[in-house]
Structure formats: structure tokens, C-alpha cells
Structure 1
Amino acid sequence: MDTQQARPRPLTADETGVLAALLAQHFPGVAELRQQAPHALAVPGCGCGCGTISLIVTDPRAPQARTLDSQPAAVDFSAPGEGGVITLIVIDGLLDELRMSYWGEDPTPMPSPEHLTT
């Protein structure tokens, strides 16, 4: 799939739950990122077929976050036959990506929030 041509769409329930888990952590800028979350749309973020998504914040008035780095939060996931980590990416103070790194050979879809471990 050409991720540059994908039409932005609302986040799925699993994507919304993962983003909420990441934003439940405490780090500089998280309050502003929480305000951006309801205005986020998703497009596939990787061509391999994994659950990585790029985020587009649609509200131009959304407050920009001042995070200490571009990867302020991460959460592990574990499900039968798969596991890995999902990292929140922030660029220019805006939600930018939920990046998946998985341990198996096959691309892993976005896990359900109940498979997250902290």
C-alpha cells in the first residue's frame, strides 16, 4: 500500500485505546497531546503491513506540546505468538505516529489495549 496516497480516517477502537494508554503516562507536554488526541486522524504509517500509523492533527488551534524528545512515551504489548513495543512519536509539538516494533517475523497489527503491559 502506498502510505502517501491513503485517505485519512478516524482511529480504530484499538488505536484509540493504545493512544490513550500512551497519553496516560506522565511526561512534559502530555497535557497538550491529550488535547490533540480527539482531533487525530490516521493513515497507514508503514508499507510492511504492521499496525504503525501516522497521525494527523486536524485542529489548527491545537496547542503544541513541548516534549523533551520526539519519543516521549512507549508501551509494551504481548499477545499469543507476538509481542513488541509501540512508541509515540511527536514532531513539532504534534502527535505524529504510533510506531510499532514487533518481535516476530510477520507484521503485527495494532494490538487491543488489553494486550498492553506497563
Structure 2
Amino acid sequence: MVGRELSGVERRLLSELLAHDFSGVVALREQAVAVRARAGCTCGCGTIDLIVDERVTVLSEAESPVPVSGEVSGIDGTAGGGLILLLEDGRLGALEIYSYEDEPLPMPEPAQVTWVLAADADGAELTADG
């Protein structure tokens, strides 16, 4: 399989995001065990493409992007950008990092991320426990 191992920071961010319960997350957790990465953007941001072995048959029914995102805080504590998980055909596709400013945002440390959970169809907020 192509790509490289996820760094410790990348692995922790993906694990923290997938620790939240939402429809299709179990399949994504299984995929994450052996996922690999490669640079996902040429602008200088921390976005990585995620590579799931094509032999993986456990596909997720989750929407893309998944309903959990990260709000990234800068050194001064103000919101500097965000983080979303994109899927491709039921597989982990990319961990996208975006900036609210003109400068690209590097891969954040997990301590800089506050997880934001989308409301489900009934308007109730999702929680880490489901």
C-alpha cells in the first residue's frame, strides 16, 4: 500500500474525532487501524489524504464530511480554523485542515482542537456517548 504511516499527532486527531458516535463510525474506526497518509494539499496547510487498503470491505454509510468537526484555536486562544473528515465511497478520504486567515494552517496539536458535533435529524446535539 502506498503512503506513509500517520504521525502521532495525526493518529491522535483521527482517533479523537472517531471517538464520537455517529452513524457509520464503527466501520471508520475499523478502517483507521491500518490507514496510511500522504500530503493532501499544495498550499502548505496540514491537510492529509487518507489511504485505506482497497481490500477493506467494511464501508461506512456516514455522510461526507462526517458530522463531527474540529474548531482549531491559535496560540492566543482565538479560533484560527477548522478540521473536517472527508470520506470517499464509504472510506476514510482526507483529514482537511482549513484556516480562517490567508495563511495556511498546519496540522494542529490535539490540545488546540475543540470538537463540534452536528445536530442530528431531530435537532438534538450528538455527544461523545452517542
Interval containing the TM-score (normalised by the shorter chain): 0.7 to 0.9
User: Percent identity, aligned pairs only?
Assistant: 37
So what's the TM-score if we normalise by structure 2? 0.79
1:70 aligned to 52, 64, 69, which one? Answer: 64
Unaligned ranges ≥5, structure 2:
116-130
Structure 1 stretches of 4+ with a deviation exceeding 4 A read: none
2:18 is matched with: 23
Aligned mate of 1:93, from 90, 94, 99: 90
**Conserved? CA contact 2:18–2:29, under 8 Å:** yes
Q: Please say if residues 98 and 104 of structure 2, whose CA atoms lie closer than 8 Å, have aligned partners that are also in contact.
A: no
C-alpha distance in 2 between matches for 1:94 and 1:100: 18
* Higher-strand-fraction structure: 1
**How many pairs align?**
111
TM-score normalised by structure 1 residue count: 0.86
SS of equivalent to 1:65: coil
Give the greater-gyration-radius structure (CA).
Answer: 2
Q: CA deviation at 1:59?
A: 6.0
Can you give the 5+ residue segments of structure 1 that lack an aligned partner in the other structure?
1-6
Structure 1 CA distance for aligned equivalents of residues 81 and 52 of structure 2: 26
